[in-house]
A and B are shown apart, each in its own frame.
Chain A
Amino acid sequence: GENVEQHPSTLSVQEGDSAVIKCTYSDSASNYFPWYKQELGKGPQLIIDIRSNVGEKKDQRIAVTLNKTAKHFSLHITETQPEDSAVYFCAASKGGGGNKLTFGTGTQLKVEL
């Protein structure tokens, strides 16, 4: 089955700096790659996603890039703010008849003042 690896497990940046989180996946049939943000005491919430027919997608301060050949995708957060502090999960899905998401192990992002 699909395996998603995520790095780093913890990331500390200064406010205003950029943060990058990287994921690799194993199944070349995966074609949907969402990123989730999980704040303390809450469930994961979708922040951005990308499909395999697109190489990059941007939404204000966050962007995701996808390299299908290398089977890796990354989350980029620019101009980080304290409210960006959370756990971030990447995921991959093959679509088709099922809806299963396979998640990475998570990155604890801390934005320091």
Chain B
Amino acid sequence: EAQVTQNPRYLITVTGKKLTVTCSQNMNHEYMSWYRQDPGLGLRQIYYSMNVEVTDKGDVPEGYKVSRKEKRNFPLILESPSPNQTSLYFCASSPPDRGGYGYTFGSGTRLTVV
């Protein structure tokens, strides 16, 4: 089954404790992206990657890092989480140069930073 898998689904952590949210896709997609979803703000792009070793900032990149060492994986790293990063996070992948078409989203990771 074609899918984007995120882990963990739920995470509660304390301020300043480094964490990584994993994302993996089995569709051989070049393009991967991270979004955060907040009430009243919709989904906002954090980082994206056009291909292996190619990453770039989205609209709200502060406080986040990503890496793309393999085509299928695109982890999101919070080196020093803060309470304002409490949010619902989605990873997505799509074929390249499709102009936004063909996005597949993961099931989400609900992060709480206390």
Contacts and interface: CB of A to CB of B under 8 A. Distances in A.
Contacts of B100: 32, 34, 91-93, 95, 99-101
Contacts of A4: 42
Interface stretch (B11-19, B70-78, B103-111): B103-111
A43 B99 contact: no
Contact of A97 (B41, B97, B106): B97
Given A42-B108, A43-B90, A101 B103 contact: yes
Given A1-B59, A104-B42, A49 B105 contact: no
B25 interface: no
Interface residues of A, number: 31
A100 B40 CA distance: 20
Contact of B42 (A34, A97, A99, A106): A106
Nearest to A104: B42
A38 B25 CA distance: 20
B44 A96 contact: no
A31 B99 contact: yes
> What secondary structure prevails in chain A residues at the interface with B?
loop
B43 A45 contact: no
B96 interface: yes
Nearest to A105: B42
Nearest to B91: A43
Nearest to A100: B45
A94 interface: yes
Interface of B: 4, 31, 33, 35, 40-45, 48, 50, 58-59, 90, 92, 94, 96-101, 103, 105-108
Interface of A: 1, 4, 6, 9, 31-32, 34, 41-46, 49, 89, 91-106
Given A92-B100, A101-B45, 17 more contacts: A4-B42, A9-B40, A31-B99, A32-B101, A34-B101, A41-B107, A42-B108, A43-B4, A43-B106, A46-B103, A99-B48, A99-B99, A100-B33, A100-B48, A103-B43, A105-B40, A105-B41
